[in-house]
Amino acid sequence: MTRVIRTMAGQRTFLNWCAAAALICGLSACQHVSQSVQTQPTSTPAQANLGSVFEQSDEPDIVGDLIAQVEDQEITTDQELEVAAIRPAAPLPEDQGRSQLAEQALNAALGLLKTKRPEVKQPVQPFSLPEKQDTRLRIGLLLPLSGDYAGLGQDIAGGAEMALFQVNDPDVDIVFFDTAGGVQAEQAAREAVASEVDIVVGPLFTASVRKARPILAASAIPVLALSNNIESASPGNWVLGYLPEQQIDHLLGYAVSENKTRVAILASGDAFGQQVLSHAVSRLSQFGLQPLQTSLLTPAVLSDEDSLKQAIKAFSRYQKPADDDEALPPPAYDVLILAGGPDFILRTAPVLSFYDLDPSRVTYLGTDLWSRADLVSEPSLQGSIITQATLPASEGFEKQWQTVFKRPSNTLARLGFDAFALIAVTKQELSRNTDEAQQMPIDWRASLIREQGFAGFSGQFKLLPDGRNQRQYELYLLTDNQLTTLDL
């Protein structure tokens, strides 16, 4: 089903259109929708043109900086938009009153069936994309639009749609494909190939990337995955997430510069913990160092209180004072890296503190996962040092996002915006510098790898030939239940 929404001049702004579109998507939950959906803008002179932003003589190689435009943009009311849009809607939350009304409606309907002949309805025709023209750019987004992680996919999709209207290129289409949290990743990839997409943004999760990538690679379709798993990277298949390995490099560089070289690493036994542990050990070896202590905590150990205490007691090299007046012996380490997710951190940090290995005695180093509210307010983590990507001021982005979606934005929304904008702006730049007949198809490997990179709302980054990204990171001190920039 294709729905066309027209906003007449002088009636609504672009943002109000987005809010209406979101509402309509929510109301369409009971209607048939296709697994791939398309969003396409028409040419709208009232929207600003991104091209002028990137013609600055002082940075001739930069792909684009959308920040100033969004921050300074004033949305006017004298614009007209005509958009064909369908988005799979997330299921509505369970509501007791609604369930009772539904049951009453069902009973009433059953009663009517006894007196009325059933109405024969024509089957809903599945939505099919129009034939792709050679001069058009079709971007496929492989996202979890249904299932447990639908909210994450919708945040990314919302960011991409904001960028779609900011870029305002009538020759660019977005087509959404539902990975259903990984269950349908292969199917979504096949549909993307059948839909003749030129480039793909997503999937989000590592497992989905692994399923989709071979199918897309067989058709030479480049991928901008939103994963932060470096193992998902390869030439022509980039990862846009905040890579923990780069964050560990930044943290260890700080520690060594402060002459804190006695390093201990406590890691979760899952794939993430092992990957971070392995990288930290490798990075230390480049400094001519090796960790004094490493330990992997299995799920069985983490779930058992006594086993966890025994493991951490041994790891911390705890020595019980002879009496309360005896001073604590110096800690065995200068630095402690906790390699694991937020739940692992919250599970182990209080026990480490109990055995006198807390941030007041040992420097805790953490990644951007520690910026979660429950970790920032955790007493046993106060005094830790974490790293996060350097983000630009974005009051304009946040204002526009909250006007449309009625909630704060997040990292995924910013990544969705930047991923789409990076592709669309690269196309525009090539259009200005290339003969029209030679514009498509685009050599994405040559076009997206830029020395100066890209400045967006998720921070400044550049794509590397091996599929990784490189970002700028800053250090923060976690103290008094808040994060403050660390002055070096």
d(CA 314, CA 317): 5
Look at residue 69 in the predicted model and tell me its pLDDT.
Answer: 54
Q: Is residue 132 part of a domain?
A: yes
- Confidence category of residue 141, pLDDT binned at 50, 70, 90: very high
* Same domain assignment for residues 367 and 302: yes
d(CA 51, CA 65): 10
Residue 37 corresponds to which tokens in the numbers above? Answer: 């959906």
- Answer yes or no: are the C-beta atoms of 41 and 168 closer than 8 Å: yes
* Same domain assignment for residues 382 and 401: no
* Same domain assignment for residues 299 and 372: yes
* Same domain assignment for residues 137 and 49: yes
Q: Is residue 306 part of a domain?
A: yes
| pLDDT tens digit sequence for 287-317 | 999 999 999 999 999 999 999 999 999 999 9
Q: Is residue 279 part of a domain?
A: yes
CA distances from 251 to 42, 280, 283, 293, 388 (A): 47, 10, 11, 18, 10
d(CA 435, CA 441): 12
Whether the link from the prior residue into 441 is cis, omega within 30° of 0, is yes
The least confident of 176-190, 310-324, 334-348, 424-438 is: 424-438
* Same domain assignment for residues 58 and 134: yes
Kindly state the helix (H) or strand (E) to which residue 209 belongs, with its residue range. Answer: helix 206-218
d(CA 36, CA 34): 5
Q: Residue 275 maps to which CATH number? A: 3.40.50.2300
Q: Is residue 67 part of a domain?
A: yes
| pLDDT tens digit sequence for 66-109 | 555 555 554 332 322 222 232 333 333 333 444 444 444 444 43
Look at residue 230 in the predicted model and tell me its pLDDT.
Answer: 92
Residue type for position 463: L
Domain total in the chain: 2
Of 129 and 455, the structure prediction assigns the larger pLDDT to 455
* Same domain assignment for residues 385 and 398: no
Domain ranges, residue 372: 244-389+474-485
Instruction: Count the helix, strand and coil residues of the chain and give each as a percent rounded to the nearest 5.
Output: 40, 20, 40
Q: If we measure between CA atoms, which residue out of 243, 334, 248, 338 comes closest to residue 284?
A: 248
| pLDDT tens digit sequence for 326-374 | 778 899 999 999 999 999 999 999 999 999 999 999 999 999 999 999 9
Q: Is residue 255 part of a domain?
A: yes
Q: Is residue 99 part of a domain?
A: no
* Same domain assignment for residues 248 and 329: yes
Q: What is the pTM of this model?
A: 0.74
d(CA 248, CA 244): 6
Q: Is residue 288 part of a domain?
A: yes
Look at residue 129 in the predicted model and tell me its pLDDT.
Answer: 67
* Same domain assignment for residues 380 and 280: yes
* Same domain assignment for residues 384 and 406: no
* Same domain assignment for residues 287 and 216: no
Q: Give the Cα-Cα-Cα angle 410, 413, 417 (nearest 5 degrees).
A: 140
Rounded to the nearest 5°, which phi and psi values hold at 477?
A: -100, 125
* Same domain assignment for residues 308 and 430: no
Q: Mean pLDDT over all residues of the chain?
A: 78
Q: Is residue 98 part of a domain?
A: no
| pLDDT tens digit sequence for 206-221 | 999 999 999 999 999 9
- Answer yes or no: are the C-beta atoms of 145 and 90 closer than 8 Å: yes
* Same domain assignment for residues 204 and 271: no
